[in-house]
Structure 1
Amino acid sequence: MRLSTKWRDTWSTIASDVDSRRSERVTIEGDVFDVVRMGRGEPLVLVPGLAGSWKLLMPLARRLAREYEVVSYSLRGDRSRGRGGPGDSRRRHVDVGGHADDLAALIDRLGMECPAVFGVSFGAAVALELAVEQPGCLGSLIVQGIEERFRTTIGSTIAQHVLERYPLPANSPFLNQFLNLLYGTKPEPGPRTDFVVDRIWETPQAVMAERLRQLRQFDVADRLWRIDVPTLVLAGSKDAIIPASRQKRLAQGISGARFESIEGAGHIGFVTHADAVVRQVHDHFQRVKASV
């Protein structure tokens, strides 16, 4: 999928604000992480998902940056370039706990003191792992698109198998079905869908497959009691990957956590329903302030 000049210009205005974005690179244990900052105010760290890196979060980050200092970064493996076939990643992979260690080190390296952390999808697993193992690193927690124990499905098993073994073109039927799952419905052709496709394919297949393997081992169910920061669990009402009912159970397992549903949103509601997500984030910050 490619955009016409008209649509590309329109969506680029929505999706990014290059002039106000500040970029840097941070080295942690010999690995380089791209870091982007936007806005001014209370710090909010956005942890990206399984594919698309921080770039897929830019429409949301731009909106949040009107009120907060938004920081996002590349997960380990995101800086590999191109679609890449199986085994094409040049970066070593770690488990979800390793990604959480990276996040803790990054927060420390950037000099942030207990920022709010907002993780989406795979990034939500990373944020949860940080909250249960290193709770002193964050001041509040927001997660979208995760449950306390990842449940392997036929769909995730097939997806991992395909990503590991078959280099896929951007217009493959598999990708179309994958998009349907992400949106919770068949997406309308246009700039937003093209944006999502382009960002996803910037993450090599091998990296996506490895992260699916890591999720299969993810389980914080018996450690949720360790979370002692204000927590908001967001879920798209049409999330076809992790249904809202299962995300609600996650919230029920965390002391004092709130659950909110984003009506009509799928798994990537942070892209498709960014304004609704921003309202929930703002309300969360206000509640945290009021409780101090």
Structure 2
Amino acid sequence: MSEFAATATSEPVTSTIELPDGGGERVVWRQGTGKPLLLIQGMSGTHDHWGDGLIERLVGDGRALVGINHRGVYGTARPEAGYLLADLADDQAAALDALGVDEPIDVFGISMGGMTALNLAIRHPEKVRTLALGCTTAGGALMTFPSQEDIQMLFAAQQSGDVEKALRAGYEVNFSESLWDDEDTYLTFKRATVRSPVPVPVIMGQAQAISTHDVGDRLAEITVPTAVMHGTADRMLPYPNGVAVHAGIPGATLDTFEDAGHLYFWDHAEATADILRDLSARSPE
């Protein structure tokens, strides 16, 4: 039994680990027992942003979940500017080593976490058993950008000094329109966001890293079973981004969520869990 499997826990647990070679501290969240699944969050996200519905289904499916928060997240030291998404992928690989994960692991990354997962699969193919990519992009010439209207709206809300206005704006641009009036979902999102807010300088560093992301000409190097998921109403990374990622990875599948927003897995938790279970079964043991 690996060190990672031996320390699996049915209840959610967070801990701080030190990456080797001066890589700094990372906050790690774990929950569940069974087949390991690495969850990689997006820009300004923490492990609290997966939504209770998806986590409950994955744990019920017998998954040992692990989320390795990015640099500067959950109170860890703020990173110097100028790092790349390739560096975030290297962080994930180093953290898996530190956690005693000694076999390839199923990986699910969303948004910037999906970009990080792409880099992980390209740079550290020995770490990845299967690859699930949600609401993400290959970047470069293959990237479809959000509308200027949405960018300006988010910026104005963030600069307003009104926390509630900023949270509402972030909620509406990320979630499906069908959830905009769902107060329970909004309050769950709000609690996740205010529990450990990601500092603005860290978010700006992440945005800078995203701006240089471009793996379009390397997608064909990915040979593990891959599933791409995307909502047609995604305003942060519009649907053509998912289509382009799917087209570039040999043998990848594409699951489309009609009228779903960026964080589609909140309102499509059961379908997302089913896709992840089926994807894992596509890899030989």
- Structure 2 residue 163 is matched with structure 1 residue 170: yes
Secondary structure at 1:65's aligned position in 2? helix
Question: What is the TM-score with the length of structure 1 in the denominator?
Answer: 0.81
1:156, distance to aligned residue in structure 2 (A):
7.1
- Structure 2 residue 141 is matched with structure 1 residue 141: no
Partner of 2:50: 57
Partner of 2:98: 109
Q: Give the counterpart letter for 1:130 in structure 2.
A: L
1:161, distance to aligned residue in structure 2 (A):
5.8
The within-5 A match list for 1:120-139 is: 120-139=110-129
Partner of 1:119: 109
Partner of 1:11: none
- Structure 2 residue 31 is matched with structure 1 residue 38: yes
- Structure 2 residue 209 is matched with structure 1 residue 219: no
1:57, distance to aligned residue in structure 2 (A):
1.6
Q: Deviations over 1:135-189 (max 9, x none)?
A: 11111100101111144443576478658x83733222x5433322201426114
Change in CA separation of 1:162 and 1:132 when aligned onto 2, cut-off 3 Å: farther
The within-5 A match list for 1:1-292 is: 20-28=11-19, 29-59=22-52, 60-66=54-60, 67-80=62-75, 90-93=78-81, 94-112=83-101, 113-149=103-139, 150-153=143-146, 154=148, 158=152, 166=159, 168-172=161-165, 174-185=166-177, 187-201=180-194, 202-289=197-284
Change in CA separation of 1:102 and 1:156 when aligned onto 2, cut-off 3 Å: farther
Structure 2 distance, partners of 1:38, 1:223, is 33
Structure 1 gap segments, 5+ residues each:
1-17, 82-88
Structure 2 distance, partners of 1:288, 1:34, is 29
Structure 1 distance, partners of 2:107, 2:249, is 16
1:216, distance to aligned residue in structure 2 (A):
1.3
Structure 2 distance, partners of 1:255, 1:237, is 22
Native 8 Å contact 1:152 1:216 kept in 2 = no
Moved more, 246-255 or 174-183: 174-183
Structure 1 distance, partners of 2:156, 2:209, is 16
Give the number of aligned pairs. Answer: 264
Structure 1 distance, partners of 2:150, 2:248, is 25
Secondary structure at 1:188's aligned position in 2? coil
Q: Give the counterpart letter for 1:43 in structure 2.
A: P
Structure 2 gap segments, 5+ residues each:
1-8
Q: Deviations over 1:261-280 (max 9, x none)?
A: 12342111122321221111
Structure 1 distance, partners of 2:163, 2:220, is 42
RMSD of Structure 2 on Structure 1 (CA): 2.5
Q: Deviations over 1:14-54 (max 9, x none)?
A: xxxx9712332211125211112211111100001112300
Change in CA separation of 1:65 and 1:221 when aligned onto 2, cut-off 3 Å: same
Structure 1 distance, partners of 2:191, 2:232, is 25
Secondary structure at 1:212's aligned position in 2? helix
Structure 2 distance, partners of 1:134, 1:218, is 17
Q: Give the counterpart letter for 1:26 in structure 2.
A: I
Q: Percent identity?
A: 25
Native 8 Å contact 1:156 1:212 kept in 2 = no
Structure 2 distance, partners of 1:189, 1:62, is 20
Change in CA separation of 1:19 and 1:58 when aligned onto 2, cut-off 3 Å: farther
Secondary structure at 1:171's aligned position in 2? helix
Secondary structure at 2:235's aligned position in 1? coil
Native 8 Å contact 1:145 1:267 kept in 2 = yes
Change in CA separation of 1:234 and 1:38 when aligned onto 2, cut-off 3 Å: same
Change in CA separation of 1:155 and 1:178 when aligned onto 2, cut-off 3 Å: farther
